[in-house]
Amino acid sequence: MAETEQPQIYLVTPPEMDPATFPDTLAAVLDAVEIACVRLAPSTRDDVLIARLGDALRDVAHARDIPLVIEQHVMMVERLGLDGVHLTDGPRQVRKTRKLLGADAIVGTFCGASRHDAMTAGEAGADYVAFGPVGQTTLGDGTLAGYDLFAWWSEMIEVPVVAEGNLDEDIVATLSPVADFLCFGSEVWETEDPLARLKSLVSAIAG
């Protein structure tokens, strides 16, 4: 996942997916919008279903030279031939995960709005850190990752930074100068026309 002048798009799958139909849906999106990375983020704990999804989505992503990472399921990465893992608990597992998966795997982690956690994760070997949520939410304690955090990070730290959590067009326009990646998930999939919604969000990127 390389840095560019404009932020790249990081797409997260919906939590519920039909392995028989969602790969075609994803393929259509990947063919229409330039995506830098896809994260498989299933809500199920069914290893058989996760493996089916991983196999199908890996083929779709890799056919387009797009890396596929999985959320949390570290032990699935090598088993399914995925490109890495997205952790959700800041720096806690980064060093151990990096050692387990090796230098070539993508290891990213969500750090909320904590500079300290993100810096610790970077020092432990994270390929990227994600801050969020960036838009209003009733989840958690309501703390948002604001523009100042991204601006400081992009100026001071070389580790790429991802903005995620309730992005809209205004937030995209505001954060695009200071984020390496913009992450879209529920913002896209929970609409009647996911592809149209994604295109609208991407069109708001500044510059």
Average pLDDT, whole number, for the chain? Answer: 95
For residue 98, CA distances in Å to 42, 89, 141, 206 come to: 22, 15, 30, 34
Mean pLDDT of 106-118: 98
Q: What is the pLDDT of residue 140?
A: 67
Q: What is the pLDDT of residue 129?
A: 98
Contact 94, 125 (CB under 8 A): yes
Contact 101, 109 (CB under 8 A): no
Residue whose structure tokens are 């390389």:
2
pLDDT tens for residues 25-71?
Answer: 999 999 999 999 999 999 999 999 999 999 999 999 999 999 999 99
Can you list the domains of the chain with their CATH numbers?
A: 8-203 (3.20.20.70)
Q: Does position 4 have pLDDT exceeding 50, yes or no?
A: no
d(CA 27, CA 14): 14
Q: Does position 20 have pLDDT exceeding 90, yes or no?
A: yes
Q: Does position 2 have pLDDT exceeding 60, yes or no?
A: no
Q: What is the pLDDT of residue 142?
A: 78
Q: Does position 136 have pLDDT exceeding 90, yes or no?
A: no
What's the pTM? 0.95
pLDDT tens for residues 81-105?
Answer: 999 999 999 999 999 999 999 999 9
Contact 144, 134 (CB under 8 A): yes
Mean pLDDT of 127-151: 90
SS (H, E, C) the chain: CCCCCCCEEEEECCCCCCCCCHHHHHHHHHHHCCCCEEEECCCCCCHHHHHHHHHHHHHHHHCCCCCEEEECCCCHHHHHCCCEEEECCCCCCHHHHHHHHCCCCEEEEECCCCHHHHHHHHHCCCCEEEECCCCCCCCCCCCCCCHHHHHHHHHHCCCCEEEECCCCHHHHHHHCCCCCEEEECHHHHCCCCHHHHHHHHHHCCCC
CA-angle at 106, arms to 115 and 165, nearest 5°: 50
